[in-house]
Amino acid sequence: SISANVGLYSDYIFRGYTQTENDPALQGGFDVEHSSGFYIGTWASNVDWVKVADLQKSNSLEIDVYGGFAFSLADVDLDIGLLQFWYPGSNKAGAAEADATEIYAGAGYDFGFASASVYYYHVLSTDAWGFSDADGSEYWTLDVDIPVGSTPLTVSAHVGNQEIDGSSGCDYTDWKANLDYAFNDNYSIGAFYTDTDMEDSCWTSNNGTKLGDAVGGAYISASF
């Protein structure tokens, strides 16, 4: 099967911190899934942090490419894969790479009244998101989705913990609450609130924006 998605967001928040310095983002992607469980996909969004962080002279785009295998064991849904983050552009001399490569593994379970999933991400690339010697960095995440009765509303909660190898002062925890209203199987709107415990000394942009500050936002999305 082939599916596609597109969304307009008031802010692009990745693991708790803004990728667009609190400006809007247009995002979308495509996925191809085989009945065996294997899948591949790509996803893209506008960003500005790579240029603001002085890693590249010019960059306004993130492209992700991923592939993996999803299967079920008893009532537990399992997923393993490889994820490549790519920021097109020429790196400045001496700057760490913005691009990053991760492997991931996850497990999910549907309790009926709610569904939950746990994922683990592990950096394989030497550099990642402007951090040098970041291979071995880890990110854990727990997500819970709770449908509100028979209404089109779904309440979601997220908590994640990021550890940057070689930069322990930059480790942090992020959390998020989300409310989604589905018009049908294709279209939805939503609102979210997210925050972190990031250290400002490590997570402040060259423009003075505190990247992990609490922020609320909204979105409209479609999937086909």
For the stretch 135-179, pLDDT in tens is 999 999 999 999 999 999 999 999 999 999 988 789 999 999 999
**What confidence tier does 91 reach under pLDDT thresholds 50, 70, 90?**
confident
Q: Characterize 49-60 residue by residue with b for buried, 16 or more Cβ atoms within 10 angstroms of its Cβ, and e for exposed.
A: bbbbbebbeebe
Amino acid at 121: Y
Kindly state the tokens that stand for 171: 């480790």
184: confidence class by pLDDT, cuts 50, 70, 90: very high
* CB < 8 Å & 24+ apart, contacts of 66-71: 66/40, 66/41, 66/42, 67/38, 67/39, 67/40, 67/41, 68/38, 68/39, 68/104, 69/37, 69/38, 69/39, 70/33, 70/37, 70/39, 71/37
Instruction: Kindly report, residue by residue over 113-138, the tens digit of the pLDDT.
Output: 999 999 999 999 999 999 999 999 99
Nearest to 63 by CA among 32, 90, 97, 29: 29
Mean pLDDT for 179-206 is 95
The mean pLDDT value for 182-192 works out to: 97
Cα–Cα distance for residue pair 216/192, rounded to 1 Å:
6
